[in-house]
């Protein structure tokens, strides 16, 4: 309580004081550019994925634009030790995503290298995925995938380096006959997701769908 008084939670866009479980104020919430995509439609994310790998369905919660509120939200989540933002993003996703009668069998997150996980202290996708798992009653596995190489943050890489993802990931367990929803924070080139997708699809007669917090168009 005292800390809330001395260090109140502030909107990441305008710095106005807001409730402790929020990340933006009501006015700035209107500036978050949600995609309003249909998970089952031939949306932009699905079109981009299909250029790289077979995909069943796809969904991006927000647009990832320069100087945009959504970019600030993702930055706070990944680099400013604000893991709780994952809970907010999950709640926003729940309000927009209906699996209807084609529910995935398993949620799987893109992993961090152990060194990066130690440096950051958390994987920005885990709380997000756990909240979704609890709401939809769909299991999640944060250990199915392993990142084999340590690398600097995607935001600090140039495009040529981002494209070099060969042998970066491996599947640690036998998995087959599953419809897997692969979860990541930002879709940029799509090469990270493609590398993982082919590893999963090679393991068995699996199907794959994609969920990202934001889409860089």
Is residue 70 domain-shared with residue 96, that is, in the same domain?
yes
Residue 133 belongs to domain spanning: 32-215
Whether residue 162 is predicted with pLDDT greater than 50 in this model: the reply is no
Query: Judging by DSSP bridges, how do beta strands 58-63 and 145-147 pair with one another?
Result: unpaired
- Asked whether residue 81 carries a pLDDT value surpassing 60, the answer given is yes
Q: Are residue 15 and residue 43 in the same domain, yes or no? A: no
Q: Considering the entire predicted model, what is its pTM?
A: 0.90
105 and 194 share a domain? yes
58, 132: one domain: yes
Same domain, 73 and 179: yes
Which DSSP helix (H) or strand (E) runs through 4? helix 2-6
Q: What is the pLDDT of residues 4-58, one digit of tens each?
A: 556 799 999 999 999 988 999 999 999 999 999 999 999 999 999 999 999 999 9
Q: Are 143 and 125 in contact (CB under 8 A)?
A: no
Residue 158: CB atoms within 10 A of its CB come to 7
Number of structural domains the chain divides into: 2
**Kindly report the CA angle at 130 between 95 and 100, in degrees rounded to 5?**
45
The DSSP symbol for 101 reads T
**Encoded tokens for 180:** 């897997």
Give the residue with greater pLDDT, 157 vs 142: 142
């Amino acid at each position: 309580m005292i800390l809330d008084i001395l260090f109140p939670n502030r909107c990441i866009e305008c710095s106005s004081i807001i409730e402790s479980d929020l990340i933006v104020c009501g006015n700035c919430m209107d500036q978050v550019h949600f995609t309003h995509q249909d998970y089952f439609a031939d949306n932009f994310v699905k079109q981009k994925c299909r250029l790289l790998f077979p995909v069943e369905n796809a969904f991006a919660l927000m647009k990832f634009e320069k100087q945009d509120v959504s970019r600030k939200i993702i930055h706070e989540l990944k680099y400013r030790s604000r893991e709780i933002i994952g809970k907010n993003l999950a709640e926003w996703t729940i309000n927009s995503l209906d699996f209807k009668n084609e529910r995935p069998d398993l949620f799987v997150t893109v992993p961090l290298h152990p060194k990066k996980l130690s440096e950051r202290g958390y994987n920005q996708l885990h709380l997000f995925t756990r909240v979704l798992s609890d709401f939809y009653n769909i299991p999640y596995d944060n250990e199915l995938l392993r990142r084999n190489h340590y690398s600097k943050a995607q935001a600090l890489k140039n495009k040529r380096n981002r494209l070099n993802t060969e042998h970066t990931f491996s599947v640690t367990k036998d998995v087959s006959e599953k419809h897997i929803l692969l979860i990541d924070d930002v879709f940029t080139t799509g090469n990270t997701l493609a590398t993982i997708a082919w590893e999963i699809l090679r393991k068995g007669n699996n199907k794959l769908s994609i969920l990202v917090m934001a889409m860089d168009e």
